[in-house]
Structure 1
Amino acid sequence: MGETIPIAVPRKGRPLEAVLDRLARRLDVPDLADDVTSTLRHEKALTKGTLDPDHPERSVYHRLADYSDVDDPTEPEYTLLRDDRAGKPRRIVFDSVTIPLEEAGPDAGLDGRVPDDTVVQLVGREEPFRALRTHEFALGFDSADLVLEEVVELRPDPVGRIEDVNARIDPAESDVRVVTGLGDTVYHTLMATPDVAPSSGALDREFLESYEGPLCIEPRYERLVRAVLGTRALEGVEFRYPEEGQEEEAAIAETGLGVYLTVTGSTAREHGLLLGEQLFPSETVLLESPPEVSRATAAVRSLLNGPDLETELAVQE
């Protein structure tokens, strides 16, 4: 087996599924994506208690042994993590898998830039972005949110596009850069009750420039909200947070104005909220640590990028 190009990926959830879908399109491995996705969804349902196990007498350790083939690196391996649900049950999550690049289809665009015996190794990490920051990996996938929450400088004007994100990463904080998004997009959206929303004009960043009062957000998104709105728009704004166990849209409805993730916005409307500007796409992104990028790594990066991606984080000309 030739050179191995390790890539840090999330261990579970929508971001990992987006990575697997991308690989299924660029490499001839649809069965791998389906296998991992279905296994993790099944295990999530068991952990949440929304699905009863087929064989209650078999523990999570038995299922882990059934899923993982440690003798064949091209078969996915899994591991156990403590879930944060009540009782902190152990949950099966993705660990690793090796994919030979000889599986790449004719449209992959490698053009002989890497030997046929090169392999890609997906390695599960709880926070892939941080693994790139410490130079453990040259390439990785993680949520764009985490980049904004950790290393993007806060300025008066808002972050809007991918070049804004990269331009605002303090070189003293990190040399990791965003390459592109994968299109699994949900949005951090401004929303308000009818009595707070402007009677004329749009519910957007410009409205916030003149607004003074409370703004409900999730505490974990505070720095992200400051980045995507810009500090100028937040002058006179006081952050409020949902009470423990309170639904975010319900808390925003009580406050009158807020920012939260939306897909269709149906839950927000059920709480009587109007949807405003989509402030920033919460999207899985391909990341690179430039000092670690070799010729083979750059070729793999091109394989994972490509013009077929439909992403809200694409560079706008």
Structure 2
Amino acid sequence: MTETVRVAVPRKGRPLEAVLDRFAASADAAQVADDITSTLRHEKAVTKGKAHPDRDVYERLAAYSDLSDPAIPEYTLLRDDREGMPRRIVFDSVTFDVDGVAVQLVGREEPFRALRTHEFGLGFDSADLVLEEVVQLREEGVGSLADINARIDPMDTDVRVVSGLGDTVYHTLMAKPELLPPGSELNREFVADYEGPLCISPRYERLVEAVLGTGPLDGVSFAYPDESVEEEAAIADVGLGVYLTMTGSTARENGLVLGEHLFPSETVLMENVAETTETAERVERAIAGPDVETELVV
């Protein structure tokens, strides 16, 4: 009997939805994937106080989960980070058939770290985490997802990036227009010549250092937004910053101009090369096909 391949995935949010979308396409599991997504979106609304169900959280958890069939999703509870730390229903597991292989998606708070500790051979997580934790800092920055594996020290981790899922948003330079000299472009070269504060979220400090490179950041000091202020407004106060954008509308509302897309923030399939089996590689080929529109080319 073919072994079950267990894959670490996020418990909630955009990265999990990207994973489910991919398996819906490769495992003919669209209905199950849609059910999981709609359930978790509803529970997010409950956690945020935007929905008010009649049943309590334990009754809903029992109604959602079915232990009799691994192809039916299971859910679990965790404490959310929001004020009061309310209980939140999140994804736990489901099993799909992928090219004749049973693939069990298992929810983890930190899938990337679960791969690093050899709990799993395959997993999905944000490419940002790889940059934040294991990509070596060099004078020259990382220009694309394809550069990531070349910057991973094999003595530090056995994890490698296999493919992206195409759910791309970008870490983007943005600035007040008066900061830019006439005719200049807001790009990496501008940052290399710039001296002064650069507003970023504290969690992205190492990522920004990896993406821009340590050389261009000479003379640049990091400024961090106050928790009560949205990032784009804080960048407008500082004058120059880096933040995630989809359409850029919020940045423009704060009087900012958008510059170079520095790096794609994308959910990626990763493998621990020390744990990968032939069956797992078969699953990789099935879910990382050429039809995925991704910024990653490995």
User: TM-score, normalized by length of structure 2?
Assistant: 0.98
SS of the residue 1:300 aligns to:
helix
The letter for the 1-side match of 2:38 is S
The answer on 1:157 being equivalent to 2:154 is no
Q: Which residue of 2 aligns with 1:124?
A: 107
In structure 2, the gaps of 5 or more residues are none
Q: 1:259 aligns with which of 219, 242, 246?
A: 242
Give CA-to-partner distance per residue, 1:135-168, whole Å, 9 cap, x none: 1111100000000000001000010123311011
SS of the residue 1:121 aligns to:
strand
**How many residue pairs get matched?**
298
Q: Which moved more, 1:16-25 or 1:155-164?
A: 155-164
SS of the residue 1:195 aligns to:
helix
Q: 1:245 aligns with which of 221, 224, 228?
A: 228
Q: Which residue of 2 aligns with 1:98?
A: 95
Q: Which moved more, 1:304-313 or 1:35-44?
A: 304-313
2:145–2:263 CA contact under 8 A, matched in 1: no
In structure 1, the gaps of 5 or more residues are 105-115
2:10–2:110 CA contact under 8 A, matched in 1: yes
In the TM superposition, residue 123 of structure 1 has moved relative to its aligned partner by 0.3
Q: Structure 1 vs Structure 2: percent identity of aligned residues? A: 69
In the TM superposition, residue 198 of structure 1 has moved relative to its aligned partner by 3.4
The answer on 1:170 being equivalent to 2:135 is no
Q: Which residue of 2 aligns with 1:31?
A: 31
User: TM-score, normalized by length of structure 1?
Assistant: 0.92
| Whole-angstrom CA distance in 1 between matches of 2:218 and 2:186 | 17
In the TM superposition, residue 73 of structure 1 has moved relative to its aligned partner by 1.0
Give CA-to-partner distance per residue, 1:86-135, whole Å, 9 cap, x none: 1110000000011123xx4xxxxxxxxxxx4x300000001100000011
The letter for the 1-side match of 2:151 is R
SS of the residue 2:51 aligns to:
coil
The letter for the 1-side match of 2:111 is P
Q: 1:148 aligns with which of 131, 143, 159?
A: 131
| Whole-angstrom CA distance in 2 between matches of 1:252 and 1:197 | 14
In the TM superposition, residue 266 of structure 1 has moved relative to its aligned partner by 0.1
In the TM superposition, residue 199 of structure 1 has moved relative to its aligned partner by 2.0
Q: Which residue of 2 aligns with 1:113?
A: none
| Whole-angstrom CA distance in 1 between matches of 2:182 and 2:107 | 48
| Whole-angstrom CA distance in 2 between matches of 1:187 and 1:314 | 16
| Whole-angstrom CA distance in 2 between matches of 1:74 and 1:40 | 17
Q: Which residue of 2 aligns with 1:295?
A: 278
Q: 1:65 aligns with which of 58, 62, 72?
A: 62
In the TM superposition, residue 289 of structure 1 has moved relative to its aligned partner by 0.6
User: Runs of at least 4 residues of structure 1 off by over 3 A?
Assistant: none
